[in-house]
Structure 1
Amino acid sequence: MNNPFLPSAKKDYKDLSAEEQGERTAQSIMAFVASCPGKAILSLGTGYALGGLFGFFMASMAYDTPMGQSYSAPSMTSLPLRQQMKIQLSDMWGRTKSSAKNFAKLGFYFSGVECVIESLRGKSDLWNGALAGCVTGGGLAVKTGPTNALVGCAGFAAFSTAIDMYMKSENGKPPANDYDE
């Protein structure tokens, strides 16, 4: 006999209708996305994609010689076009990968730390981003010394706070209508 005050036992997935299977799958996905590991993994992937686009764009705008190469302008221009393209494309690919990895690492650390801080504090406010920015910025710069770690902490915390303040601000009410009275 079923107790009306207790939740019913979950049916096996194969015994569910298509709608119920879709609902359970959506609930599982939403639970993963709301978890700290889920947020960190999503930031890792998003950071990699955006970092790759940013790195590709910045590499395409570089007017200097390819990174890590010691080509002078006359020697580079004396190479056949195919060789020049090969050198430049390999340079672009290297810069794209480097930027993608850096953005992915930054997004992964920041979102993971912010989620953990938010879970520990039980609040969602500007301090979470500021503390996560400090931990992330300081942590990424700690290998270069305590002064740089302090600057990284302060800089990333300030940047994170500024972005959070902008994203949470209300830039004025929308107009009540499209015409002037």
Structure 2
Amino acid sequence: MNGLPGGAGVPQGPYGPQTDPNVKAMQAMMESCFGKTAISGVMGFGMGGLFGMFMASMQYDTPYHVPGAPGPAENLKALSTKEQVKIGLKDMGSRSYGMAKNFGKVGGLFAGIECGIEGFRAKNDMFNGVAAGCLTGGILARSGGPIAAGGGCAAFAAFSAAIDAYMRSPGEE
């Protein structure tokens, strides 16, 4: 059933030729390395922001302090509820933004490297994700020295292999 008589005005999607140029352009962008990298970076930024907000809300230590006050209990008494909420929200925002930047960087870096490897090898298999994970982990840990870079490579490659193996496993149908 195509909706209209004779299927007029209904794009056929994966089962036939797509005629809408906007849909074709969107598909081309989603299949390009630049598009995949940008989408992964943006989605990672959003997910990191939400994750950071959750983690900041679960912190036991508090950012409430008044310079010059003797101790933590006295500091809480010195601030009004409005000031505590203001400081708490500002702290939550800064933690969320920091985590969002990190997740966005990891997502964009991994997707770009994986897409580049896939294009170079002209294959879509598990090795692409493992190699991209190793390179991403090594790049992210490079400032810690060669041992940290090697550990980052191994850890991120193992994580990528586990996720890729799970995603490629046959579903329960």
Give the TM interval when normalised to the shorter protein.
0.7 to 0.9
Q: Which residue of 2 aligns with 1:74?
A: 73
| Aligned mates of 1:116, 1:69 — CA distance in 2 | 51
Question: Which of 29, 34, 55 in structure 1 is aligned with 2:31?
Answer: 34
- The answer to whether the aligner puts 1:163 opposite 2:163 as a matched pair is yes
1:109-128: per-residue Cα shift (whole Å, max 9, x none)? Answer: 00000000001111111100
Is the alpha carbon distance of 1:51 and 1:32 closer, same or farther for their aligned partners in structure 2, counting shifts above 3 Å?
same
Partner-residue secondary structure (3-state), 1:138: helix
Cα drift, residue 66 of structure 1: 2.4
Could you tell me which runs of 5 or more consecutive residues in structure 1 were left unpaired when the two chains were aligned. 1-17, 175-181
Cα drift, residue 87 of structure 1: 1.2
Aligned residues: 156
Is the alpha carbon distance of 1:68 and 1:111 closer, same or farther for their aligned partners in structure 2, counting shifts above 3 Å?
farther
| Aligned mates of 2:127, 2:147 — CA distance in 1 | 23
Is the alpha carbon distance of 1:40 and 1:76 closer, same or farther for their aligned partners in structure 2, counting shifts above 3 Å?
same
Alignment of structure 1 residues 1-16 onto 2, 5 Å:
none
Q: Which residue of 2 aligns with 1:50?
A: 47
Is the alpha carbon distance of 1:162 and 1:68 closer, same or farther for their aligned partners in structure 2, counting shifts above 3 Å?
farther
What amino acid does structure 1 have at the position aligned with 2:92?
A: M
Question: Once superposed, what is the RMSD of the aligned Cα atoms?
Answer: 2.4
What amino acid does structure 1 have at the position aligned with 2:136?
A: T
| Aligned mates of 1:125, 1:37 — CA distance in 2 | 20
Is the alpha carbon distance of 1:69 and 1:32 closer, same or farther for their aligned partners in structure 2, counting shifts above 3 Å?
farther
| Aligned mates of 1:69, 1:110 — CA distance in 2 | 42
- The answer to whether the aligner puts 1:83 opposite 2:83 as a matched pair is yes
What amino acid does structure 1 have at the position aligned with 2:80?
A: P
| Aligned mates of 1:29, 1:119 — CA distance in 2 | 19
1:64-106: per-residue Cα shift (whole Å, max 9, x none)? Answer: 1229998843133211111111111111000000010000000
Q: Which residue of 2 aligns with 1:60?
A: 57
- TM-score relative to the length of structure 1: 0.79
Partner-residue secondary structure (3-state), 2:20: helix
What amino acid does structure 1 have at the position aligned with 2:73?
A: P
Partner-residue secondary structure (3-state), 2:124: coil
What amino acid does structure 1 have at the position aligned with 2:25?
A: S
Alignment of structure 1 residues 96-107 onto 2, 5 Å:
96-107=96-107
Is the alpha carbon distance of 1:67 and 1:81 closer, same or farther for their aligned partners in structure 2, counting shifts above 3 Å?
closer
| Aligned mates of 1:56, 1:119 — CA distance in 2 | 36
The worse-fitting range, judged by mean Cα deviation, of 81-90 and 96-105 is: 81-90
Cα drift, residue 140 of structure 1: 0.7
CA contact (8 A) 2:64 2:84 kept: no
| Aligned mates of 2:25, 2:66 — CA distance in 1 | 49
What amino acid does structure 2 have at the position aligned with 1:144?
A: G
